[in-house]
Structure 1
Amino acid sequence: MAISYMDYTSPYVQFTYDLSDNLFFKKNDRNYINALSIKQLNTLGNVSLLDIYLSTGNIVEPHYHQNASELVYCVSGAAVVSLINPFTQELLNFPIRPGQVANVPQAWWHYEIATVDNTHLLAVFDAPIPEFIGGSDLLRLTPAEVLAHSYCLDEAKVKETLAPITRTVFIGPPHDCKKYQARHQAADHTAHIDQSHGHPAYGYSYQHPQKYDFPQQQPVIIGNGRAFANSNGIG
């Protein structure tokens, strides 16, 4: 049930908003996210959304929302929504095209990968401000010696591998990821799109970049979770 504490007689009551006025994150002109929460539209109850634009192979990094479920709706293009079922320990991949949705239960690990250019997704949350815990944050904030000890890894190699991760990724791979650029250019010449499954036949949609560059956006702490906000709320 939506809850709103707005005084509807107030002269400041809001019923409409332009999402382009609240940029959450921008990688480039084809990969960016706009956001809407109660801080932009004060008549909202327990609902918020992210307006996501992606080009082929770009990924909303693996993450979870500890305070919200997420319904991903495909407006245009195509994407694969992937999530891990914590009860069965299965990785599930759901290709979606315009008019189709994929649902991510609260606090489940998931990510979205665009499989064609000009992909537009709406991510709708059942919380006024969804908290975001990104994989990049878990990797960069957990001490390398703890990861190495936990999983019997070479600590020096862990440090070297994770050293470039200094901020939250949001949309990967980063614009200066040389490995992704080379692979993407080669794919442009040789790949074809499997229309029935909605993913490139050459399959790099499911591969993850190993080098990262990071946005300027900085997280703020909300309770025990993480949300990303500027003076206008999310984004």
Structure 2
Amino acid sequence: MESGLMSPSLSLAADSNQTLTYAKDMSNFITQVFAEQLPVIKTGFFNVHMSQGVVITPHWHTNATELVFLISGELQTSVFNPFTQQLMTYQLRPGQVSQFPPGWFHWLVALTDNTHLLTIFDVPTPDIVYGGDFLRSLPPEVAARAFCINPVAYAQTVAPIQKPVILGPPPDCSPAPGSGKSNQ
């Protein structure tokens, strides 16, 4: 039996609204329950609230499987299968789930306002590698050699990514000229 289960201060309850992980604004935020909030837990989750068009930016987990459970709203999940080189996209409605294996690059987009979901992990502390952090850390000369792209254009493109972007687009984002889309 685990020693934590024998502790006189054992608690088997936590409030997922108490620990704010990230807030973009009052309608788009993430709270959590992981080992820090519930020490005997072998899993954990993020409690996510999103508005239409907001994205949990592309990322992957080196050490965890993630299960997305949609509580309300509509959500699109996308994951890149590294074995088949295929992008797999699913549209979820309340009660439906999507799963991401460790190391698989993925993202989520809220299709409606008041989207509420849990992202549940099989470890008490998941590693998270954000695509934006990777892009802004990749030296332009390496991008040029690896992908035959203009290093100056690459540097200009990733320059606005100054810190991790968890729920995108960032508040100061403006559409790229002529694209009708975000420049980040």
TM over 0.5: yes
SS in 2 for 1:8: helix
Q: State the partner residue of 1:71.
A: 67
Q: Which amino acid aligns with 2:183?
A: Q
- Aligned equivalent of 2:115: 119
What's the CA shift for 1:176?
2.0
- State the match for 1:7 in structure 2: 4
Q: Secondary structure at the match of 1:156?
A: helix
Task: Describe the shift of the 1:164–1:18 C-alpha distance in structure 2 as closer, same or farther (beyond 3 A).
Answer: same
Distance 2:26 2:52 in 1: 13
CA contact (8 A) 2:174 2:183 kept: no
List runs of 5+ in structure 2 lacking aligned partners. none
The residue aligned with 1:210 is: 183
Which of residues 90, 98, 104 in structure 1 aligns to 2:100? 104
Q: How far did 1:5 drift?
A: 4.3
For each residue in 1:3-40, what CA deviation from the matched residue of structure 2 results, as whole angstroms up to 9, or x when unmatched?
x8442232321211111111110000111111111111
State the alpha-carbon separation in 1 of the partners of residues 65 and 18 from structure 2.
25
- Report if the CA contact (8 A) 2:68-2:118 is conserved: yes
Q: Identity, % of aligned pairs?
A: 36
Question: Hey, what does 1:16 align to over in structure 2?
Answer: 13
TM-score by length of 2: 0.93
Aligned to 2:143: 147
* 1:44-83 equivalence runs, <5 A: 44-45=41-42, 47-83=43-79
1:37 partner letter: F
> Tell me, what secondary structure is at the counterpart of 2:17?
helix
Deviations, residues 39-86 of structure 1 (Å, cap 9, x unaligned): 1101212x1101111100000000000100111010000100100111
- CA offsets, 1:79-113, max 9 Å, x none? 00100111111111100010100111111100000
Runs of 4+ in 1 over 6 A off after TM superposition: none
TM-score for the superposition, normalised by structure 1: 0.74
Q: Which whole-Å CA distance do the structure 1 matches of 2:74 and 2:82 have between them? A: 26
Q: Which residue of 2 aligns with 1:42?
A: 39
In structure 1, C-alpha distance between the alignment counterparts of 2:78 and 2:89, rounded to whole Å = 4
Q: How many residues align?
A: 182
Residue 129 of structure 1 corresponds to which residue in structure 2?
125
Letter in 2 for 1:79: L
